[in-house]
Structure 1
Amino acid sequence: MPLIELTGIERSFHLGDSVVHALAGLNLSIEAGEYVAVMGPSGSGKSTLLNLLGLLDRPNAGHYRLEGHDVTTLSSDQLAQVRSERIGFVFQSFHLVPRLTAAENIALPMMLAGIAPRERQVRVAQALKDFGLDQRADHRPDQLSGGQRQRVAIARATIMRPALLLADEPTGNLDRHTGEEVVKLLEELNAQGVTLVIVTHDQALGSRARRRLLMEDGRLQHDSAATPDSPPTSHAPG
């Protein structure tokens, strides 16, 4: 059973008098443990796809099955619970809470999930060690470098042990050396079994993924996993 299965996904937005088809007739299957890069020009549907995979947005039509469950029919509260327990997010701009320390930022998802303080403490201590942040536990984001902030963000994204990690331009605000360290960290998590989906404009980063998806005009134009004899993975509606 695939971890992710999208069937006939449509997502459109109204801009003035016009309708923009951000995703059109999208069919996509991703197995557990895959390392996937989603690429394409601005406006191709990459971010819309990521938001939909992360249950931050709903399709207008079609079905999204996550771990075998159709999540398109879930209530907002149910979606929030699935996001909390099964999906981690890493963003270009880190999105850390400014007033919280590194340790408190990492612990935040567990607090929201109602995990007991003692277990939170143990898991945060292990995460700080694993991500090389032992000496930065009590530092706020404005006291951390860009690379340290992104490591805190990744630790926070994975502290609930999600099945799926979504990264939106994770190296976009980092210099090349720091970006390389962050990518290696993400790849180590993938090697441990976490399914990794990265949206990026960076060809060098995209080429590292074992599977590359090329989006264009809301459609999946190329899937490196497809063989020459495979049927198209996406089609225009109607």
Structure 2
Amino acid sequence: MSAALIELAGIERVFHLGDSEVHALRCLDVSIAAGEYVAVMGPSGSGKSTLLNLLGLLDRPDAGTYRLEGRDVTTLSAEEQARVRSERIGFVFQSFHLVPRLTAAENVALPMILAGIAPTQRAARVAQTLRDYGLEDRAGHRPDQLSGGQRQRVAIARATIMQPAVILADEPTGNLDRATGEEVMRLLEKLNGQGVTLIVVTHDVALGARARRQLLMEDGALQHDTVARREGVGDPCALPT
């Protein structure tokens, strides 16, 4: 099995709402190997989105450690986390999150601009990436001039332009019809087949079943890990009674 890309140990995340505490993540220990295809599943409020935000360095845990490629990223400054996020993590969202005023090519180029890559190098890589995703004839179109499937392909192109180690996909087919959603999933799975770690957050059982490993979340805790149980690893932390 490949080396661990992601290692979470003792992760806790607590939100304070008025006088009450909400344990969004509790006693979370997860290891994900490089190249894995993992679905994070569970009902609303189970901790899926909080886990995604933490994996994407958009949030910090209240306790525990998160190691990415062997590096404890929980101890990094906000600036250092932003660089890791830019260079090693790709995001694909349900609502695309494209910049409306920018063209497809300009949206794809954004991560490279933020990373300070030279304009000539950017132009060549964007052109090649748009060709790879069948979008070369849409390079000059703004998001409102694209179909849902084209917008998601632009989003995936933007997510992969920096050749990240992991792609985090949050309900990537949620705003797409079934045929277009299937096309998008095949595209993501092709990237996984090329060695990119793919983590899909979904409440869709059929979508989650496509992954080779499913993590089932409930009340902020990991309730079931298909791979962990197959390999004889002990039960994850039980929910407090």
The normalised TM-score by structure 1 is 0.98
1:223 partnered with 2:220 = no
Query: Which residue number in structure 1 is paired with residue 57 of structure 2?
Result: 55
Describe the SS at the equivalent of 1:3: strand
- Sequence identity (%): 76
Note the residue ranges of structure 2 that are not aligned, 5 or more in a row.
none
Amino acid at match of 1:48: T
| Contact kept in structure 1, 2:112 and 2:162, CA below 8 Å | yes
Amino acid at match of 2:219: D
CA shift digits 1:44-102 (9 cap, x unpaired): 00000000000000000000000000011100000000000100000000000001000
1:151 partnered with 2:187 = no
Query: Which residue number in structure 1 is paired with residue 27 of structure 2?
Result: 25
Amino acid at match of 1:79: Q
| Contact kept in structure 1, 2:10 and 2:27, CA below 8 Å | yes
CA distance in 2, matches of 1:236, 1:201: 21
Q: Once the 2 structures are TM-superposed, how far is the Cα of residue 226 of structure 1 from its aligned partner?
A: 1.7
Describe the SS at the equivalent of 1:214: strand
Q: Once the 2 structures are TM-superposed, how far is the Cα of residue 233 of structure 1 from its aligned partner?
A: 2.8
Pairing 1:1-238 to 2, within 5 Å after superposition = 1-227=3-229, 229-236=232-239
Q: Once the 2 structures are TM-superposed, how far is the Cα of residue 14 of structure 1 from its aligned partner?
A: 0.6
| Contact kept in structure 2, 1:26 and 1:235, CA below 8 Å | no
Aligned length, in residue pairs: 238
Amino acid at match of 2:51: L
Note the residue ranges of structure 1 that are not aligned, 5 or more in a row.
none
Q: After TM superposition, where is structure 1 displaced by more than 4 Å over at least 4 residues in a row?
A: none
CA distance in 2, matches of 1:115, 1:108: 10
Describe the SS at the equivalent of 1:226: helix
Amino acid at match of 2:6: I
Describe the SS at the equivalent of 2:228: coil
Amino acid at match of 1:169: E
CA distance in 1, matches of 2:74, 2:100: 33
The normalised TM-score by structure 2 is 0.97
Describe the SS at the equivalent of 2:102: coil
Alignment RMSD (CA, Å): 1.2
CA distance in 1, matches of 2:168, 2:39: 10
| Contact kept in structure 1, 2:229 and 2:235, CA below 8 Å | no
